[in-house]
Amino acid sequence: MKLLVPAALLIVLSASQAANAQDLSAGERSFNKCRACHQVGETAKNGVGPELNGLFGRHTGAVEGYSYSAANKGANITWDEATFAEYIKDPKGKIPGTKMVFAGIKNEKEVADLTAFLKQFGKDGKKM
C-alpha cells in the first residue's frame, strides 16, 4: 500500500507537468501571426522584419543586413524568455519607437508555445 501512494503521486505530477508543457505545434500555429514579417529555418531571410533564427541570446539590432529602427538598435536588450514574453505582449510598450506594428499576443500559454517553437531554431536555422 505504501508503494501505491508515491506511484500515484508521480502519475499526478507527470500529468500536471504535461498539461503545462509548451506545445510546439501550437507555437508553430501562433507563428503564423508573425510570418507576414518574419522567417525562421534554414532558408530564412530578412523581410519586413528580421529573420528570427537564434533569437534567444541575441542582442537587439544584431541581425546582419536588416535595417532596424534607432529605438531597437538602442534598446540594449538581450533576448531571453522573459524579455521576449514582455515584448511580444506589447512591442511598442517594451521598445517605444520600434517599427514593429503588431498588436501583441496577450495569452501567456500562447506566448510560451511560440517561445518554445522559436527556441528550436539555432543561428543557422537548423532545429536544435
Domain map of the chain by residue range? 22-119
| pLDDT digit string (tens) for the chain, length 128 residues | 555 545 444 444 444 344 457 899 999 999 999 999 999 999 999 999 999 999 999 999 999 999 999 999 999 999 999 999 999 999 999 999 999 999 999 999 999 999 999 999 999 999 99
pLDDT for residue 54? 98
State residue 21's pLDDT score.
73
Output the pTM of the full model.
0.82
Cβ–Cβ < 8 Å for 32, 48: no
**Given this model, what pLDDT does residue 31 score?**
98
- CATH tag for 22-119 (out of 1.10.760.10, 3.40.1800.10, 3.40.640.10, 3.30.565.10): 1.10.760.10
